Chain A
């Protein structure tokens, strides 16, 4: 099976712009979670989508949003970018239920906000 893929891998934006990141989960996985990773804050949970519905949400402002499509692919959008949004954004997929709910991570999208 192909792993989790994220596009683009690298992105440079300026303050005030918006950005959309994409994540394709492992085939058969219905859950997609998003994380922000920065040197200062570590890995922080953004949100999780399961069967096109947001199931869990972290403590991020409303500028951060996401959605999931019927094929389980997910997008994350950040509006009105701030310098502090520079981070590695990781996507993880899992079956989302049952005993084996371990997450499989993609390589991440490195976002730089200038």
Chain B
């Protein structure tokens, strides 16, 4: 069965520092990959997605993610974080266009002033 692993439950970075959130998936074929962000008390907002093509994907709010097939990873990056980036981030995988999406457990990002 497919699965999504986000190894870091909490991550703390200083404002202005770079960020990388890890995501690994388990599946034989290339899945559809997503990163979502959830602010406290809110629903989830899509940051970016990968379906095919260029393995470096640009998203909203200055985020990007790189799909690495050999490592089964889809890590999220941002060169310089802002205090407003403090939130919970979810990696998700879908097997096909009509299939359900499986979410990782999430990584909570804390920003130090």
Residues of A within 8 A of B (CB): 4, 33, 35, 42-43, 45, 48, 50, 55-56, 58, 90, 92, 96-99, 101-108
Contact = CB atoms under 8 A, between A and B. Distances in A.
B101 A98 contact: no
Question: How extensive is the interface on chain B, given as a class?
Answer: 20 to 34
B63 interface: no
Contact of A43 (B32, B90, B98): B90
A102 B104 contact: no
Given A42-B106, A45-B102, A98 B43 contact: no
Of B36, B44, B45, chain A has the most CB atoms within 10 Å of the CB of B44
B43 A103 contact: no
Interface of B: 32, 34, 36, 41-46, 49, 51, 90, 94, 97-106
Contacts of A92: 43-44
Contact of A96 (B51, B98, B102, B105): B98
B104 A42 contact: yes
B51 A99 contact: yes
Nearest to A98: B97
A102 B46 contact: yes
